[in-house]
Amino acid sequence: MTGVLVTRPEPGAAETARRLAALGWRPVLAPALVLAPRPFAPAPGVQAILLTSRAAARALPPTPLPVLAVGEATAAEARARGFPQVQAAAGDADALAALAAATLDPAAGPLLLAVGAGYGEELAEALRAQGFRVLRRIVYGAAPAAALPPEAVSALHQGVIAAALFFSPKSAQSAVALIQGAGLAATARGIRALVISPRVARDLAPLTWRQVQVAARPDQDSLLELLGPSVTHE
């Protein structure tokens, strides 16, 4: 089996597919969420912007304000979009809150926390507990996909999926629902589920997987390290 199910939404899914192909795997795209930007109005007096995802970076117009990104991939996306002052945290919300506490002054003005719908509330509370005023702004929506793509359904039916990649709790929840809705829950027993964090692993519990493995760090590189090269590619 050389198929790897990619549940990450676009446009990130295509990038992951290229990385998988370079490792000798056959990527099977099954984006569990559909992302769409929402209107954004700048807030006056903000001292810095906090980005929790690459999708948030893509949804905002560039600004000269300092930007704190949750990890290196989000920071790279922000720089590519024209943000001139970007620092990267170590990859999760706790690290982003710690970076803000270490580099910013609560008295210097509010923080703009740019997130997707349903995300960022715990981070906002953690920042407020450190004395910051936080303006949480939803800059994109993430709706569950309506169904699995036909190629993904066929690959699951044929038993050619060796592993599945899961990048967020919401996408994991949606992917589980899509697999169940397609009547393919039993196929999970033959699939390694590779997840970006323990939180994501918990959201896979409704299905029985051959194995659930958590990346050492919450980023794509660590997730792909768990997978390794395809045996046909070695």
Q: What is the count of structural domains for the chain?
A: 2
pLDDT of the residue at 156: 97
Q: How far apart (Å, rounded) are the C-alpha atoms in residues 198 and 90?
A: 16
From 141, 172, 200, give the residue that closes a domain.
141
pLDDT of the residue at 155: 97
Region 36-45: what's the mean pLDDT?
86
Verdict on whether the full-model pTM lies above 0.85: no
* Number of helices (H), then strands (E), in the chain: 9, 11
Structure tokens at 137: 């702004």
Write the CATH number for 98: 3.40.50.10090
The domain in which residue 109 lies consists of 44-141
Both 80 and 124 in a single domain? yes
Name the burial class of residue 197, with classes exposed (0-12), middle (13-18) and buried (19+) by CB atoms within 10 angstroms of its CB.
buried
pLDDT of the residue at 228: 85
Residue 53 amino acid letter: S
Q: At what angle do helices 93-103 and 121-129 cross, to 10 degrees?
A: 30
Backbone angles phi, psi at 26, to 5 degrees: -100, 105
pLDDT of the residue at 232: 60
